Chain A
């Protein structure tokens, strides 16, 4: 899929975000973000906690009024009735009625979206099936496991079968098994051609689910493209060497910086063009008196890209 350069967004996209700025007092949570979501695409917003992902999503869904910029859905203003119907939002926190059953929750949210009668019934059945909760339809939410609640939370955002879905870290706090089930649900939507904006701070999720990834930090989109494009742009054909020191201190930090590496938590990362540069590094470390505990060579990934771009690791 061809990348869309930052700052250039064609109109009539399923979702178009242009120059959005949101400040909370002195904090700029979203800083001049421009993005376009293509039809049938899953666009990842990858960034650490506090990067501004949720604020951007809430700006799209109308829960936050941006200080500047515009958001449109299929060319219509995001706060228009048509846009609201086209958008589905899965918030990061569970937003369900705990005393209502799964079916009653879905029915309630369906009614809020104007569904009635047979259309509502069909939508509820589809959601229960999609979330693998048909056998728990009559169970009150408060009796469900964490993973089931997450799945129902997602299903509630899809009750009106939106064309554009905004998923705000839907796997937060979910065990690995449930996470896999959620991935399958999202992939099912992807196959159906639904357009999705997916925020996460898990690199593996972005790599698995997203066609393109926007790396966001301190409210700014600092890179945009497919996984391979991002890696290529950051590292070209270079590989990554990860070095763990037996002892830190004693000038390790300075030694790493001298060799254009990044040092964090006792681990240094270098990029090299050729494998023989590893031997040069080992020799240099030995001469400087730095004892190595471990050394590995790997192809760069999104984690590496984020570190390369920000000088920080992408962590929880």
Chain B
């Protein structure tokens, strides 16, 4: 015990990190999930008003007043020029392009019959909700708030609509009226007792004030496995890269570094070699993970191989350079262990490897953009969820490559201390 304590105390970096690590990690989770949230995550929603009625405009105004929604009716201005309002087609393209996770399309005739009440199969206007299924939260938030706004933002219209239905269904309750009401009640009872309440393409909101038909436009028929393959994969890549780059510290401690640097190999050569090794190791790990996901979990891997290779190599380069940076910061293996654990867990939690970033507050989501994880996961999501072409991966690829170059340059500079005495 005594020798262990003395050794720990001598390595001040490791000593500090031994106690900083649990505190830091606890604090991260407390900030993300605890009471220190600085803001509720706001869901971006695109709204297309095809009806342009009083009812539709009041519904949109109600949505705009909701603090947890960011309503977009047209794309952001380009060069100061206001863009035209979204249409159903451009809204769908925008959801596919990750501009927003949800789009609402208010159809013609909505203002005539805004309430969903009526017999099944009756031809009434239904709001289209287009969603990106990689965001599990946004569509549910928008659907709930839409119903709430319908109830609170246009009560008079609701009453007017109710009176229309009353005139239509009441007035003596003829046998036909009785039959319709009974059928409606039967249908409600059936839905109440049924598990099937969330058809992707059907009327999923019976019993709600506003009829909404939901449709996945991104990630149709895909489960979350490919997301988790990328999310978990990147986290383990970071661990792998930091472990692999620790060989630099091993070499410094064992004396082989001196011997290598006395040969024709320079520090730049050595670091580049170790970076390539880390990259190849990380990329191989990703390949194994996705092939496993393909074989066992039926992830649609083969058609996405080109995008996977581009994102895989970019990510491997960034994590390899990250490992070199950590190793060059540390003086001993004992320091590298806790420091890399701290930084990687921090990056993974903020960057979306442990839970999707849309769970987090807006500021945390922005902070996530400082991590390798977030950019890598975004890129893999584009490939496997959105089926986007390789050319659309340039923002993620550029950021990851830039991170890699900067990290490697800093690591090279810090490693200069080993070059000469």
Chain A residues within CB distance 8 Å of chain B: 24, 58, 61-65, 81, 84-85, 87, 89, 91, 93-98, 109, 112-114, 156-157, 160
Contact = CB atoms under 8 A, between A and B. Distances in A.
Interface in B401-421: 420-421
6 contacts: A24-B421, A62-B420, A63-B261, A87-B262, A112-B264, A160-B263
A113 B261 CA distance: 10
B254 A98 contact: yes
A84 B264 CA distance: 7
B256 interface: yes
Given A84-B263, A112-B263, A114-B264, A65 B421 contact: yes
B255 A94 contact: yes
B164 interface: no
A157 B267 CA distance: 19
B124 to A, nearest CB: 73
B9 interface: no
Given A63-B258, A93-B255, A97-B256, A58 B264 contact: no
A84 B260 CA distance: 11
A24 B420 CA distance: 13
B259 interface: yes
Contacts of B261: 62-63
Interface in B242-285: 254-256, 258-265
Most A CB contacts (10 A, CB to CB) among B255, B256, B264, B265 go to B256
Given A113-B263, A114-B264, A95 B421 contact: no
Nearest to B255: A95
Nearest 5 pairs between A and B by C-beta?
Answer: A95-B255, A112-B263, A95-B259, A64-B421, A65-B420
Nearest to B261: A63
B420 A61 contact: no
Contact of A63 (B256, B264, B421): B421
A89 B256 contact: no
Contacts of B265: 112
Interface of B: 254-256, 258-265, 420-421
A161 to B, nearest CB: 13
B258 A91 contact: yes
A120 B139 CA distance: 64
Contacts of A160: 263
B420 A109 contact: no
A140 to B, nearest CB: 14
Given A58-B421, A64-B421, A65-B420, A96 B264 contact: no
Contacts of B421: 24, 58, 63-65
B262 A81 contact: no
Contacts of A24: 421
A84 B262 contact: yes
Contact of B259 (A64, A65, A89): A89
Given A58-B421, A63-B420, A85 B264 contact: yes
Given A95-B254, A95-B255, A112 B260 contact: yes
A87 B420 CA distance: 17
B420 A64 contact: yes
Contacts of A97: 254, 256
A61 B255 contact: no
Most A CB contacts (10 A, CB to CB) among B256, B258, B261, B262 go to B262
Contact of B263 (A64, A65, A109): A109
Contacts of A96: 254, 256
A156 B259 contact: yes
Contacts of B258: 58, 63, 91, 95
Contacts of B260: 109, 112
Nearest to B265: A112
Given A58-B421, A160-B263, 11 more contacts: A58-B258, A63-B262, A63-B420, A64-B420, A65-B421, A85-B264, A93-B255, A95-B254, A96-B254, A113-B263, A113-B264
B262 A89 contact: yes
Nearest to B270: A112
Nearest to B258: A63
A81 B264 contact: yes
A24 B421 CA distance: 9
Contacts of A58: 258, 421
Contacts of B263: 84, 109, 112-113, 160
B67 to A, nearest CB: 59
B247 to A, nearest CB: 9
Contacts of B264: 81, 84-85, 112-114
A112 B257 CA distance: 11
Nearest to B247: A97
Contacts of A65: 420-421
A260 B420 CA distance: 46
A95 B256 contact: yes
A114 B264 CA distance: 7
Nearest to A114: B264
Contacts of A84: 262-264
A159 to B, nearest CB: 9
Contacts of A109: 259-260, 263
A15 to B, nearest CB: 14
A136 B259 CA distance: 22
A65 B262 CA distance: 13
A96 B255 CA distance: 8
Contacts of A113: 263-264
A199 B421 CA distance: 20
Nearest to B420: A65
